[in-house]
Chains A and B, each alone.
Chain A
């Protein structure tokens, strides 16, 4: 098996504290996993805020350098990429999707500029018609067309549409890996599933591997092949998604699993009432 992405004992720490009390905050500790180059998959990193999942995404994208361990993409150490041409070659294969689609597109720039710039830089296209065709082809993959996007600004479209345009743009260079950090948390519920379903299509039809980073266990269960659960920088549990999320074995992952409210008033109310009873008895004990 040849590895698409390989993380070996990756760690990242930040200096914290004031002038005299210097300390270190370990955002990510000893993280290792490997993605197979031949078998595209949806690999999910689940965690709460402060779990280190976003730091991990930034390190994979080369926006941050690990303080220990190594990240290899197609056999090449990501941290050694220095020159602009190497960086462009790397970005052609690894593309990001950001959390807030309204923030990912500059409100003062037309959306098509992002598509055209990508086509020009990564595909080396010069002719107007070729650039248009490349942008249109990518937009077709996400169910849009260039005619719908040309000349538009981000405030004219919904979050779901913008996120699909962001996916289309990421597809233009023909990437092997897409890193999506909380891609649906800012998208309206009625459009959320369109993004999530799109990831499946990309994996199955275009052979793109997706690293899906989320705090939402329900969508993670819905689309993931493999999953790791992170907590305070460490991997708590890893494995096949249905097994890990369906029947978690560790205490933390069980707590996380049980914290998911079912979309069913009877069951959800029972959970809240149980908690309420525990609260009240706890309080009574405390008072007694």
Chain B
């Protein structure tokens, strides 16, 4: 594992850039543990201060330090993305593999649920959940809802991989070697499915972060907890763009663009490593 990381860094520029970018943003986000102010406190500092030696990225109209706010916001947004990613991967794996391997009735039922979820639009459902929950809306609840909406395409992908594996000779051989269904799925099929999980995970993470930012910008989340979207929401509420408090808007947007770019570069380079065809063509070049 370590040597793979080393070689990726050495041979793949996209990975190097993506890795450095993501690592820097991660370090920046982790810095909020050492923040001098609590991240939910407001009107603690003089409001609307431009970037200076004292406040590196300025302060907001609500009297918060933009630097430390952003640090906490990115941390929270990334946490949200990771939770959604992990939960939805678990659902996608379970549904996709069982559906593909068992076939028949189980497959029919699971895929009907899957296709129904694909047909449903995501944002209206999330808004509906928000309107029902109102003040009880917490970020873990939002994460679970998002995870329940974010697995279906990938479950289909995993199902199609498992479906082709089911007819391979080694699966029949495993059955005649007395392996049980969980053993076949975990020992025989999971290694083939993992690349799909891995590379959809990156896309899912990007999707989840995008979803969180969108909902927060619109104010449909717990807006008192600092998130990247939440910062933009408050900046809009205080008409930061009109009143010339550009640092309140520009820095969160730059941060989220950099985070997206870093994750995207990681996703494509890891995908290239996983896909032997592109690895081979690189070997040739």
Contact = CB atoms under 8 A, between A and B. Distances in A.
A210 B172 CA distance: 19
Given A108-B191, A121-B179, A114 B168 contact: no
Interface string A89-130: 001000110111001111011000111011011100000000
Nearest to A106: B170
A105 B177 CA distance: 11
A173 to B, nearest CB: 8
Query: Which of A99, A117, A170 has the largest number of chain B CB atoms within 10 A?
Result: A117
Nearest to A172: B177
Interface string B4-47: 00000000000000000000000000000000000000000000
Query: Which of B169, B175, B177, B187 has the largest number of chain A CB atoms within 10 A?
Result: B177
A115 B173 CA distance: 11
A259 B188 CA distance: 41
A104 B187 contact: no
B169 A118 contact: no
B168 A103 contact: yes
A135 B187 CA distance: 19
Contact of B172 (A98, A118, A170): A98
Nearest to A115: B177
Interface residues of B, number: 16
Interface string B99-136: 00000000000000000000000000000000000000
Query: Which of B168, B172, B178, B179 has the largest number of chain A CB atoms within 10 A?
Result: B178
B56 interface: no
B176 A109 contact: no
Given A109-B187, A109-B188, A117-B183, A104 B178 contact: no
25 contacts: A63-B172, A91-B178, A96-B176, A98-B169, A99-B169, A103-B168, A103-B169, A103-B170, A104-B170, A104-B173, A105-B170, A105-B173, A106-B187, A106-B191, A108-B191, A109-B187, A109-B191, A114-B174, A114-B177, A115-B177, A117-B178, A117-B179, A118-B177, A166-B173, A173-B178
